[in-house]
Structure 1
Amino acid sequence: MSNSAFVTESDGAAPHPLATLGVILVGAGRGERLGAAMPKAFFELHGRPLIEFGIGVVTSLPHAGHLVVVVPESRAAQTLELVEQVLPDRSRWEVSVVPGGRERHESVRFGLDALPDSIDTVLVHDAARPFTTAAQFERVIAEVRRTGDGAVPALRVVDTLKRVDADGLIHETVAREALVGVQTPQGFAREVLAAAYADAELQLDTPTDDAEVVQRGGGRVRTVPGELRAHKLTTPDDIAILEHFLAANVAGLESEQ
């Protein structure tokens, strides 16, 4: 499989204006800290892989958009099947599936390359945050388009922070007033994100998120309110937290019926 995109859209979809919003759903990570015998994005909660939730929330957004799902090459066929199942009838979204790279920043670059030329705003989202809400996506989109700067969801740090050494000995307390924890989706003007990812500085070390990449390139990044339910699956301890949010989602749906 090459880096060219496989594209699918819902049967009978009505013609729609060229998409200007692009979303890159990153699901190519190996999930080594999770210890699962599969890529993290394909870890299942009650029989549903995490990436399915991400595809669902993105394609529910009321925009004409293009979603690029970046996965391991061996999972491409499975992902295309999931897209066919999840994509709403007469959707305004087109979806591409492309193979990921060895590192996250490579996967994001491949996702950027797969977006059509009409896209001017790009959001990058981790498939490992399956219960991020549509409202959080909309806050990021609105801030990028309002300011032209990057935008990332953030939560204030509430725990006391300590700086420790390799042996776990505490050396100091770190002031937390100016600190936040950031989540995804992280949004940017397409030209800003693409230029930042083209920078040769990326070859020197591995950035931890897209905001860092953009800031290295001189771009500005703002924060918007994050949400607890956008929790990320990283270790086995996170599974119970995600199962809690899944149960809350099911309960909410049942109460509406």
Structure 2
Amino acid sequence: MNPLANDLSGSTPHALPTLGVVLVAAGRGERLGAGTPKAFVELHGRALLEFGVGVVTSLPHLGHLVVVAPESHAAIALDIVEQVLPEGSPWEVSVVPGGRERHESVRFGLEALPESVETVLVHDAARPFASAELFERVIAEVRRTGDAVVPALPVVDTIKRVDADGIVHETVDRAPLVAVQTPQGFARETLAAAHSTAQLQHEAGLPTDDAEVVQRAGAQVRTVPGEQRAHKLTAPADLAILEHFLTANLLGLESEA
């Protein structure tokens, strides 16, 4: 394991974890222009990473969570985990530094998981409000089928194909198109094998998600229903959308009290 890795479990569980989650928090967020990595942007005084750690460690599984953070923010990530992780949690948590590209960061996260892990979920910390139900839906489908599984939403806008000058050439049939999200789930062996050869696939361009990594390696990818609240922070306009979901979460908690 990388020397920067830190185990924050606090105790040794009675059984070894078979579920692993790689929480990717190493994105630089250049399009966002926030001057800080996306996972550490704050909403109402709380970093996005805090929400992601919270939902993962709320899952009723013996699991191991690996947070992949920029080396410059590793100590901050550790502080966040220590604040969020409940005492006596069945989850083990490690923090490791990320790589130059996303697929490299995921590989580092995979390498930090214990050998007992059989099912792996990869989730973007920039999607802070993906629900526990979505995580469970992906886990169940991976274990039922053995395939790679991604959450997906139907494309509702009209899609046009344009050239470099912005001239429309055709309208694309949107019926077979979906927008995919995270968490994405995999059999650990499938994902690890695909990432071990990812560096050999650069002639096709860098993969944009882990489903593409495993599909290029020959694995089958299937979908489960996604959710609007698993929205990703990419540009400044996305902050208003995430604020909406945060407010909805807070109102829901108040109504349950």
TM-score bin (small chain): over 0.9
The equivalent residue for 2:76 is 78
What is the distance in 1 between the residues matched to 2:14 and 2:157? 47
Letter in 1 for 2:229: R
The equivalent residue for 1:171 is 169
Residue range with higher mean Cα deviation, 108-117 or 164-173: 164-173
The equivalent residue for 1:201 is 200
- Aligned counterparts, 1:85-100, within 5 A: 85-100=83-98
The equivalent residue for 1:220 is 220
What is the Cα deviation at residue 90 of structure 1?
1.3
2:253 corresponds to 1:253: yes
The equivalent residue for 1:242 is 242
The equivalent residue for 1:110 is 108
What is the distance in 2 between the residues matched to 1:201 and 1:223? 26
The equivalent residue for 2:124 is 126
Q: Deviations over 1:14-36 (max 9, x none)?
A: 73310000000001010011011
- Give the secondary structure class of the aligned counterpart of 1:171: strand
The equivalent residue for 1:67 is 65
What is the Cα deviation at residue 169 of structure 1?
1.2
The equivalent residue for 2:7 is 7
What is the Cα deviation at residue 4 of structure 1?
5.0
- Give the secondary structure class of the aligned counterpart of 1:91: coil
With over 3 angstroms needed to count, the CA separation of the structure-2 counterparts of 1:4 and 1:37, relative to structure 1, is closer
Instruction: Using the aligned pairs only, state the percent identity.
Output: 73
Q: Deviations over 1:41-74 (max 9, x none)?
A: 1000111010110000000000000000000011
What is the distance in 2 between the residues matched to 1:129 and 1:147? 25
- Aligned counterparts, 1:45-56, within 5 A: 45-56=43-54
Determine which of 161, 166, 171 is the counterpart of 2:159.
161
What is the distance in 2 between the residues matched to 1:124 and 1:77? 22
RMSD across aligned C-alpha pairs, in angstroms? 1.3
- Give the secondary structure class of the aligned counterpart of 1:78: helix
What is the Cα deviation at residue 144 of structure 1?
0.3
- Check the 8 A contact 1:153/1:223 in 2, yes or no: yes
What is the distance in 1 between the residues matched to 2:31 and 2:42? 16
- Give the secondary structure class of the aligned counterpart of 2:79: helix
User: Please, what TM-score do these two structures have when normalized by structure 2?
Assistant: 0.96
What is the distance in 2 between the residues matched to 1:34 and 1:73? 20
User: Please, what TM-score do these two structures have when normalized by structure 1?
Assistant: 0.96
What is the distance in 1 between the residues matched to 2:56 and 2:49? 11
| Runs (5+) with no aligned partner, structure 1 | none
- Check the 8 A contact 1:3/1:110 in 2, yes or no: no
What is the distance in 1 between the residues matched to 2:4 and 2:22? 15
What is the Cα deviation at residue 85 of structure 1?
0.8
What is the distance in 1 between the residues matched to 2:255 and 2:72? 39
What is the distance in 2 between the residues matched to 1:112 and 1:203? 20
Determine which of 26, 29, 32 is the counterpart of 1:28.
26
| Runs (5+) with no aligned partner, structure 2 | none
- Check the 8 A contact 1:16/1:64 in 2, yes or no: no
With over 3 angstroms needed to count, the CA separation of the structure-2 counterparts of 1:80 and 1:55, relative to structure 1, is same
